[in-house]
Amino acid sequence: MHIAIDAHMVGERETGNETYTLNLIRGLLRVAGRDPKGFSWDAGEPARAPNGLQRAEARRWGATPRFSLLTPHPERLRAALPELRDFPHAAVVTLRPATALLRIPLGLPAVALRRSVDVLHVTYNAPPVVSCPVVVTIHDISFEHYPEFFSPRDYAILKTLVPFSARRAARVITVSQHAKREIVQRYGIDPQRIAVTYEAAAQQFQPVSDPAALRAVRSKYGIGDRPFLLALGNLQPRKNIGRLIEAFGQAVASDQLTVGSRQSETNGEQRRITSEDCSLVVAGKALWRESEIFATVQQAGLEDRVVFPGYVDDADLPALYSAATAFVYPSLYEGFGLPPLEAMACGTPVVCSNAASLPEVVGDAAINVDPLSVDSLAQGLYDVLASADLRADLRARGLRRAAQFSWDRCAAETLAVYAAARPTRLAS
């Protein structure tokens, strides 16, 4: 079976979409790489198939599935996935034209036909005509709920192409039961055609305790020595950073808070500090309407308390999460919400919005707050800053919660979707 995956976003710093694509490919390579000759099994021995593949589905595969990874920038993909060198059945294929306007209707179908692809996997946008079944991943349909949070151009594109792609696809993948329900209700898709494959924190996300590494990440991103709350996400209205800034101002307005550094708390110590000693770090690239966020900081008089370090390199994220006193995720809408799981995997307490899919992801391992209420956000921030015992409990719960999710499981379940998307055909 020959699977082509549209990996054009790798290297584009598209955060969520890029993270999903990279980690899915890594998971597929790990699952496939357990056989040094490539991912294969005897069609008569379906018990050897990956988790999630049923007996009938396993027989459709034949002997050795192959992967074509499609990108306009092959050098970026190879740099991001050096493990490709050890997997001969995965090929990086240059995708032309590079622009989305032509890549989707022309480039993807041309590659699928030329390379005799059995299943094409894309994110959000499927080609109108293609020679093989299409699997489309739709992370969320936030534009249906918050059109005002998108530029008119982006909204028009999403409103047109996403419903078309969902209906056109042989199978749809989404990343939470919440997102699946919304796609079914909004677009009338048969729920049997939609698979939920949960994302996970990648293997790199583990607690970092090395003082030198923690100092280095603080220095690199201009954070300084203060205890800090961390928020991560592109600067755009859906991430709800404006309300977070207002809530932060309220939370630290009390006379004193008991806040320990991660290192001091690990050593069983606490220190009494004034509220002026705590910062808010909002990491992520400016995407749209970021000027409103900066204006909120000025209006609240928090210019010296809120830090905007910009885009953070993936390699620095574990240390950044680990350096934070707590992580806060106030988003108004997410299809999944990966950063809270990454923070939990690093042993960082989490304050999280209770909107959309997020309760499904964090379970009882976070402080859940109403993202539309500044008071609720402020109370959550105050509680996590004020109580070392609460932070310790959240750390333990978070580590257990993050361990329940796995990219290998996501990859195996995605392989099952590919098998289901392919027209039934017994292996010869």
Q: Is residue 205 part of a domain?
A: no
Strand pairing category for 90-94 and 171-174: unpaired
Question: What mean pLDDT comes out for the span 200-211?
Answer: 97
Distances (CA, A) of 210 to 112, 206, 216, 262, 269: 47, 12, 10, 11, 17
Structure tokens at 405: 């999710």
pLDDT band at 175 (very low <50, low <70, confident <90, very high): very high
CATH number, domain with residue 303: 3.40.50.2000
210 or 275, greater pLDDT? 210
* Per-residue pLDDT tens over the stretch 377-391: 999 999 999 999 999
Cβ atoms of 367 and 229 within 8 Å: the answer is: no
- Residues 183, 330 within the same domain: no
Q: Is residue 387 part of a domain?
A: yes
Residue 360 has pLDDT above 90, yes or no: yes
- Residues 144, 289 within the same domain: no
DSSP, res 103: I
Structural domain of 281: 211-402
pLDDT, mean over the chain:
87
State how many domains the chain has.
Answer: 2
Cβ atoms of 189 and 166 within 8 Å: the answer is: yes
Residue 40 has pLDDT above 80, yes or no: no
- Residues 279, 317 within the same domain: yes
Q: Is residue 427 part of a domain?
A: no
CA distance 342 to 344: 5
* pLDDT given at position 151: 87
pLDDT band at 290 (very low <50, low <70, confident <90, very high): confident
Residue 41 has pLDDT above 70, yes or no: no
* Per-residue pLDDT tens over the stretch 261-274: 555 565 555 454 44
CA distance 231 to 211: 21
Question: What mean pLDDT comes out for the span 187-196?
Answer: 97
Q: Is residue 206 part of a domain?
A: no
- Residues 146, 278 within the same domain: no
Q: Is residue 268 part of a domain?
A: yes
- Residues 131, 253 within the same domain: no
- Residues 348, 336 within the same domain: yes
Q: Is residue 428 part of a domain?
A: no
Q: Is residue 426 part of a domain?
A: no
- Residues 259, 358 within the same domain: yes
- Residues 223, 167 within the same domain: no
Question: What mean pLDDT comes out for the span 351-366?
Answer: 97
Cβ atoms of 231 and 207 within 8 Å: the answer is: no
- Residues 102, 215 within the same domain: no
- Residues 173, 215 within the same domain: no
User: Nearest-CA neighbor of 3 among 41, 34, 39, 37?
Assistant: 39
Q: Is residue 345 part of a domain?
A: yes
* pLDDT given at position 184: 98
pLDDT band at 38 (very low <50, low <70, confident <90, very high): very low
- Residues 44, 172 within the same domain: yes
- Residues 329, 281 within the same domain: yes
Percent of the chain with pLDDT over 70: 85
Residue 52 has pLDDT above 80, yes or no: no
pLDDT band at 424 (very low <50, low <70, confident <90, very high): low
